């Protein structure tokens, strides 16, 4: 029988199993990892031992179950496990373990191992919907993601109590495929990517603002695709969407805040993608409180506007040599002409042009269609597809531009 030769073959994986009802699915994850050639070391919490038997994992895994900081032959088992692991997978990841990991509380063998490792950590949350949506759980998860923890999000479906909702453990096959991607030789490893997403909000008063219909979905798709290729990704976002695995999110609201964040993070980036829909105008003097109509004596208030900073043009003016800068153009007419003018005016390397008047294209949709206009004169059409497919197409072009520039010599920062 041929030996496995994929990205998991010969890799040492610590499989942490916690006390959620989905612990029984960790048995399947264990079997699939071993079948893929991994050396699997199961670490069970006391809660997990109430859900699944050690005998099962002893039979399927590469080593016997470990579960205690104190009863193992090794006096410091967490250090050995953490230092020798190529990958740690927590499946399922309960709210308790996520909280302990985020807070740095090493009260059992698994959490101590998580804190004692420099290997990639993948967590696979599984819990009831109310627990999953609790602000404490989401805050802990956001903290872990910011620190580089990778997340396989829970699925929607039938839960342990018989009701339906989000919180169901991801499919074991998807979890193993995710682990393969983490350990694969990903082509963008070592590259830095900055992406903006969402529509900015410019306040009129304390409760009202000027904005647009951007959902941020395309920007998030670009960030997710770049991270899957191995890049270190920072996402500057105005929308409250779950962060893609391994992506650091910088939350902003206004065009000025986005401008500051993009300038700060883009200076040393290899790739910058301005997918956000930035407001062109903002109120000059937003009211500090809510404007009350019963105090206006029937008159309509006047809102005086001023232009916001042109973030893409500013990034283009300060673009380091070798950096690839991508902008977006949402148009309702003269798509190519307007996008080509923007490409030249903003000193961008590519413009992703969308006809947002077309059906199922652009704002708020899960799908998009685009014309990719490249500064070297190329024009590529991306037909209507899932936004992740559009992200894949535009990053393929970026990859070609990066390769060409790498052949031209080292980067230097423009004055």
What percentage of the chain carries pLDDT values higher than 70?
A: 96
**Average pLDDT score over residue span 278-286:** 93
pLDDT at 41 over 90: yes
28 CB-contact burial (10 Å; exposed 0-12 / middle 13-18 / buried 19+): middle
Annotated catalytic residue 338: no
Using pLDDT thresholds of 50, 70 and 90, give the confidence band for residue 238. Answer: very high
pLDDT of residue 195: 98
pLDDT at position 204 is: 94
Q: Is the pLDDT of residue 162 over 80?
A: no
- State the pLDDT at residue 1: 57
- Would you say residue 296 has pLDDT above 90? no
Q: Given the residues 46, 71, 140, 212, select the one marked as catalytic.
A: 212
Name which of 100-104, 245-249, 351-355 the model is least confident about.
245-249
**% of residues, the chain, pLDDT over 90:** 68
Q: With 90 as the cut, is the pLDDT of residue 71 above it?
A: no
Predicted confidence at residue 186, as pLDDT, reads 78
CA distances from residue 379 to 106, 116, 353, 371, 372 in whole angstroms, order as listed: 54, 50, 11, 7, 6
Q: What is the mean pLDDT of residues 186-198?
A: 92
Summary mean pLDDT of the chain: 90
Residue 157 has pLDDT above 80, yes or no: no
Higher pLDDT: 218 or 247? It is 218
- pLDDT given at position 2: 66
How far are the Cα atoms of 12, 42, 47, 325, 390 from residue 71, in angstroms, in the given order? 22, 15, 17, 55, 53
**Average pLDDT value for residue range 68-91:** 86
Select from 317, 310, 326 the least CA-distant residue to 413: 317
| 305 strand-pairing partners | 283
What domains lie within the chain, and their CATH numbers? 12-183 (3.40.50.1950), 192-406 (3.40.50.10300)
Under 8 Å between Cβ of 310 and 256: no
Query: Which of 76-90, 123-137, 353-367 has the lowest average pLDDT?
Result: 353-367
pLDDT of residue 414: 41
- Min mean pLDDT across 46-50, 75-79, 225-229, 261-265 is at 75-79
State the pLDDT confidence band at 364, using cuts at 50, 70 and 90: confident
pLDDT score of 415 more than 50: no
């Amino acid at each position: 029988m041929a030996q496995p030769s994929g990205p998991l073959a010969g890799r040492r994986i610590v499989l942490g199993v916690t006390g959620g009802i989905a612990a029984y699915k960790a048995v399947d994850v264990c079997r699939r990892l071993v079948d893929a050639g991994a050396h699997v070391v199961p670490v069970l919490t006391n809660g997990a031992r109430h859900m699944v038997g050690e005998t099962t994992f002893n039979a399927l895994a590469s080593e016997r179950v470990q579960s205690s900081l104190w009863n193992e032959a090794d006096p410091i088992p967490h250090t050995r496990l953490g230092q020798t692991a190529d990958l740690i997978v927590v499946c399922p990841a309960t709210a308790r373990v996520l909280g302990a990991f985020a807070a740095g509380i090493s009260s059992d063998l698994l959490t101590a191992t998580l804190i004692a490792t420099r290997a990639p950590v993948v967590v696979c949350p599984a819990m009831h919907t109310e627990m999953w949506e609790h602000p404490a759980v989401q805050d802990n998860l956001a903290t872990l993601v910011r620190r580089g923890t990778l997340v396989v999000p829970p699925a929607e479906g039938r839960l342990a109590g018989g009701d339906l909702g989000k919180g169901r453990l991801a499919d074991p096959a998807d979890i193993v495929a995710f682990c393969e991607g983490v350990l694969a030789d990903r082509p963008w490893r070592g590259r830095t990517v900055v992406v903006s997403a969402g529509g900015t909000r410019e306040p009129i008063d304390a409760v009202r603002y000027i904005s647009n219909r951007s959902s941020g979905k395309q920007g998030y798709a670009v960030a997710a695709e770049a991270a899957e290729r191995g890049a270190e990704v920072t996402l500057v976002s105005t929308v409250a969407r779950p962060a893609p695995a391994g992506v650091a999110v910088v939350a902003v609201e206004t065009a000025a805040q986005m401008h500051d964040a993009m300038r700060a993070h883009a200076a040393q980036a290899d790739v910058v993608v301005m997918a956000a829909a930035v407001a062109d105008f903002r109120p000059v003097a937003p009211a500090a409180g809510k404007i009350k109509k019963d105090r206006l004596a029937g008159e309509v208030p006047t809102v005086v506007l001023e232009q916001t900073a042109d973030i893409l043009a500013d990034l283009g003016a300060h673009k380091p040599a070798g950096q690839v800068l991508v902008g977006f153009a949402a148009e309702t007419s003269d798509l190519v002409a307007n996008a080509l003018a923007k490409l030249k005016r903003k000193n961008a390397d590519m413009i992703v042009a969308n006809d947002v008047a077309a059906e199922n294209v652009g704002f708020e949709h899960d799908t998009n269609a685009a014309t990719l206009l490249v500064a070297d004169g190329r024009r590529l059409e991306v037909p209507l597809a899932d936004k992740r497919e559009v992200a894949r197409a535009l990053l393929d072009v970026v990859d070609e531009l990066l390769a060409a520039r790498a052949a031209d010599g080292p980067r230097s920062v423009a004055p």
